[in-house]
Amino acid sequence: MNDPDVRRDAAGMAKEWECRTCSQQIYHGLVQTEQFWRSQERLTFGSIARAGNLKQEVCVFTSLTVFGIFVLDQDEAIDFYVNKLGMEIANDIQQGPTRWVTVRVPGQPAPEIYLEEPGPPARDEATAEQIRELLTKGGAGFIALTTDDCRKTYETLKGRGVEFTQEPLEHFYGIDCGIRDPFGNQIRILQPARMPESVT
């Protein structure tokens, strides 16, 4: 391989092979990309076309009934969510070592909010302590509520001593504000924007 011409030929063949390999990779990559988008297109339009069937085939649930947030004290949580926010108690049942406390918006049977104190028997004490720490930093729970008049609700809750993290602001989707419960859970209150009336 000391002959310069042989070395040049070998280098040229290697370069050509590299280019062919690169071209093949690019080609296959383009083909795979095209196949992916075609599959997404088929999935999207196919899903729309079979929306009724998919609902029966995929979704096996009928409603959302309960979701939970962590609180540090259930009695204090009841005082806040019922006496200040105006919700109502749905359940307050002692089940062995667990107190099952849920609240809901008056007149709405679901969903209910489970006010859970972290700790045994559901979680060991070490895990419960981590949850408490995260909760007090505002990094655990989130709730979104709707109202007919956000600014009026703001004034009412402010008069009850509720802590606001944001005053009412107007956006394209409506008017909203932010509060936090005594434990750190973030709550958004939204007055949805009026939908434009359709012209007939």
Q: Please, are residues 82 and 35 in contact by the beta-carbon 8 Å criterion?
A: no
Q: What are the extents of the domains in the chain?
A: 4-58, 66-192
Give me the residues of the chain with pLDDT under 70, please.
1-56, 198-200
- CATH 3.10.180.10 for the 66-192 domain, yes or no: yes
Distance CA 187, CA 165 (A): 9
- pLDDT of amino acid 200: 60
Is beta strand 174-180 parallel, antiparallel or unpaired with respect to 186-192?
antiparallel
What tens digit of pLDDT does each residue of 64-85 get? 999 999 999 999 999 999 999 9
Distance CA 138, CA 183 (A): 8
85: buried, middle or exposed (CB in 10 Å: 19+, 13-18, 0-12)?
buried
42: buried, middle or exposed (CB in 10 Å: 19+, 13-18, 0-12)?
exposed
Q: Tokens 């988008």, residue?
A: 37
